[in-house]
Chains A and B, each alone.
Chain A
Amino acid sequence: MKRWRGIESDSVECSKTERRFLERRLLLKGALSVGALGLLTGCNITNQESVRKTLWTMSRWNDRIQAALFDPNRLAPTYPDSAITRPFPFNAFYDEDEAPVVEAEPYRLELSGLIRDRRPWSLRELNALPQTTQITRHVCVEGWSAIGKWSGVTFRTFLERVGADLNAKYVGFKCADDYYTSIDMATALHPQTQMTLRYDGQILPRSYGFPMKLRIPTKLGFKNPKHIMAIYVTNMYPGGYWEDKGYNWFAGL
């Protein structure tokens, strides 16, 4: 039985070929080293201005693609009570005990921008609006997901009630923890987009966004702002806390 001898050769005729083998092997090694070097300096590549600009341009392009892919009538799957993730994970850019403390009584939700009736709303008034409940999957930009149960006012109902310009492009949110974000109007009007006042049957806990958060099952978790203090409607791109740092703005699911 003949054993495989790799690149070795016992034939004199092949010596020239063999030398080429070695030259090419060195060339290949060189090419691979350049590739490895590129990988090792990955952060530096990303920091180059032209690369950075290209990546941001691609992210804006992906916003447009996602807006086109978004079907305003397609619902996020809903789950039974037994599927709820317990405990539901806390996630923010700070630790759980640093979550902002917002008092229920002096709280007034402020409205501004392209809204006809901009009078502030108390929690009592928000609770008096028709309430709905959803059990949906929350998908984090980090990759994990968890199923939770949120109750509150369908955001569309609220926007219609206050006379928001439903043809405007964006709805923006300002939060008690200095977080801010914004969404497209199509998503704001989606039937499952909810001004959440309760979690799993209880008044929305501080960790999960008391006194009010926006639950958007058709977007990644960071597009679901907590502790909302002000809502505004605008045609000027408002950006967001993570979006301005590089997360994709549309972030649709």
Chain B
Amino acid sequence: MSSMLPATPYAETAPLIKVHPLTVRITHWLNATAILIMVASGWRIYNASPLFDFKFPNNLTLGGWLAGALQWHFAAMWLLAINGVVYLAYGFFSGHYRRQLLPITLKSLLREIANTVRGRLSHAVGAYNPVQRTAYLGVIAMIMLVVLSGLVMWKPIQMQSLGVLLGGYEGARLVHFFTMTGIVVFVVIHVVMVMLVPRTFIPMWTGRVRNPGKRI
């Protein structure tokens, strides 16, 4: 249903193609909400005791003060984690990952990066190119790591065996910060890409697209 389609000229009569399954759309927007809350409240928590020589502007943060930010952070973590588990289980068992995100070969990735640099983005409707596949798998991995390092910071004693893998409490703090940074960089690029190719925005809500694929 979501395989590569032959490039045909745009037409109003072109059939609606389902590009994003319902579960993916719901979990995507819940995840976007959770990430927004976690990052905005997390920046406020960071400001209480900055790891590095800078603070985040308070008007970009959530919670008003440390306790408020912590309440947001430890409430939205349930949304992030439960929604994430649902998404991973769906992607794994439905074959979504196998079909949409794999395989990525080094050769195809390098070719796509070269295409991207030359301004030839491959945009087949319903199929992700190797750069997209790498970015999506990368952000999934980073969200998993940000959750694991968050667990170690939350429960450094109850989860000390997991903590050992991440360098204990202080190590997990650094991992948590840098994975957050990676996720924010992903989100910025992701949003910029949607602004550059706005016809990808509505299908993330409706799941359907009329315009069959072509290279631009």
A→B interface (CB under 8 Å): 1-7, 13-14, 17, 20-21, 24-25, 27-29, 32, 35, 39-40, 42-43, 45-47, 54-56, 58-59, 62, 69-71, 74-77, 137, 139-145, 217-218, 242, 245-248, 252-253
Query: A139–B198 contact, CB under 8 A?
Result: no
Closest to B119 in A: A4
**Contact of A17 with B10 in the complex, beta carbons under 8 Å:** yes
Query: Which residues of chain B from 150 to 183 have any CB-CB distance to chain A below 8 Å in the complex?
Result: 155-158, 160, 168-170, 173
Contact yes or no, A142 B155, CB < 8 A? no
Say whether, besides A43-B68, A46-B63, A58-B71, A27 and B201 are in contact (CB < 8 Å): yes
Whether B94 sits at the interface, judged by CB under 8 Å, is no
**A143 in contact with B45 (CB, 8 Å):** yes
Give the nearest-CB partner of A246 in chain B.
B67
Q: Whole-angstrom distance between the alpha carbons of A55 and B70 in the complex?
A: 10
Q: How large is the interface on B (under 10, 10 to 19, 20 to 34, 35 or more residues)?
A: 35 or more
User: With the chains together, A110 CA to B211 CA distance in Å?
Assistant: 77
A-B contact pairs, 23 of them (CB 8 A): A1-B118, A6-B196, A21-B198, A21-B199, A25-B198, A28-B194, A28-B201, A40-B60, A42-B40, A42-B61, A43-B64, A47-B64, A70-B158, A75-B157, A77-B160, A141-B48, A143-B49, A144-B49, A145-B169, A218-B157, A246-B70, A248-B71, A252-B158
Min C-beta distance of B205 to chain A, whole Å: 10
For A252, the chain B residues whose CB sits under 8 A away are 155, 157-158
**Does B62 sit at the interface, judged by CB under 8 A?**
yes
B75 at the interface (CB under 8 A from A): yes
Which one of A3, A58, A69 contacts B75 once the chains associate, using CB atoms below 8 Å?
Answer: A58
Decide: B173 and A24 in contact? CB cutoff 8 A: no
Interface membership of B147, Cβ < 8 A:
no
Tell me how far the C-beta of B97 lies from the nearest C-beta in chain A, rounded to whole angstroms.
27
